[in-house]
Amino acid sequence: MLRRVQAEIHEADSRQLIVPLPSASAHASRFLPAMYNGRAMQQLFPLRDLQAERSREQRPYFEFLRVPTMSAGIYVLPAGGTDQQKPHSEDEIYHVMSGRARMRLRPPDGSERDFAIATGDTIFVPAEQEHRFHSIEQELSLLVFFAPAERTT
């Protein structure tokens, strides 16, 4: 069974998240707890809740999921802001939930790629590749996935 959960990404731009449910009784639980390696774990992460928690913590990056094989978080950079991150030892996927900016990638061969990114774009960055968001025109809100989990390799 599939349940459509409305995610409020931006007042003028909403998306549908499709979340598989094991049974109709799961509708009663907002957080859909499940067992993972013998421990209870949240499976549904409403975007507005993640954004509120990241805002409360006043940090650009908020990790909301961590298992040995991957981690996920929300990364937000303000318009005109600076991306201070350094290369990671994990592969990464960024999905642009909202905003406009440019991204610079520097592969191991030393070449440089620079391109515009906007809402709906998805970027893959291999482990150890230098990368940076810059020229941020509109607040940039990114969904980030690390595999394996960030800082485990």
CATH code for position 98? 2.60.120.10
Cα–Cα dist 125/94, whole Å: 8
Q: Provide the 3-class DSSP secondary structure of residue 24.
A: helix
Number of structural domains found in the chain? 1
**153 is a domain residue:** no
**45 is a domain residue:** yes
**16 is a domain residue:** yes
In the predicted structure, residue 29 carries a pLDDT above the cut 90: no
**70 is a domain residue:** yes
Q: Hey, how many other C-beta atoms are within 10 angstroms of the C-beta on 103?
A: 21
**142 is a domain residue:** yes
**131 is a domain residue:** yes
pTM: 0.74
Cβ-contact 66, 144 below 8 angstroms = no
Range of the domain at 67: 2-147
pLDDT at residue 137, as a whole number: 98
**129 is a domain residue:** yes
**152 is a domain residue:** no
pLDDT at residue 41, as a whole number: 80
Cα–Cα dist 130/147, whole Å: 17
Cα–Cα dist 105/16, whole Å: 30
Specify the higher pLDDT residue, 150 or 23.
150
